[in-house]
Structure 1
Amino acid sequence: MLQESMNKLEALVGELLERNRQLAESNQQLNGELNRAREENDTLQLSLMEQEELHGSTAARIQALVERASAVGA
């Protein structure tokens, strides 16, 4: 009976070790994906800030032109 219990315990430990290995591998893959997603997010945020700056500058130039045109027409 003790031998049977030891055999079951060994099998369970083996299964746990294999599951732990699988989870560690999965965790490593997920961390890689998370890092790539963070890098992409940073790139997109930077691009958005650049676009907002460009649009803000363009809007200011258009507003200045409208004001100049309004002043000339008045």
Structure 2
Amino acid sequence: MLEASLSQLEALVSELVKHNRELSENNAQMSAELARVKDENETLQLNLLEQEEQHGSTAARIQALVERASSAAA
């Protein structure tokens, strides 16, 4: 009976070690994916800031042209 219990315990420990290894591998993959997504997010945010800056500059130029056209018409 003790031998059977010991065999069952060994089997359970073996399963737990295997499961732990799988979880560790999944965790490493998810960590790598998270790092990649964070980098992508940062790049997208920088691109958005650049676009907002360009749009602001364009809006200022259009406003200046409108004011110039308005004052010329007056």
Q: Compute the TM-score of the two structures, normalised by the length of structure 1.
A: 0.98
Unaligned runs of 5+ in 2: none
Letter in 2 for 1:9: L
For 1:45 and 1:22, the matched residues in 2 are separated by 34
For 1:73 and 1:3, the matched residues in 2 are separated by 103
Unaligned runs of 5+ in 1: none
What is the identity percentage for the equivalent residue pairs of Structure 1 and Structure 2?
64
Task: Determine the structure 2 residue equivalent to 1:7.
Answer: 7
For 2:36 and 2:21, the matched residues in 1 are separated by 23
Q: CA RMSD in A?
A: 0.4
Task: Determine the structure 2 residue equivalent to 1:67.
Answer: 67
Letter in 2 for 1:60: A
Number of equivalent positions: 74
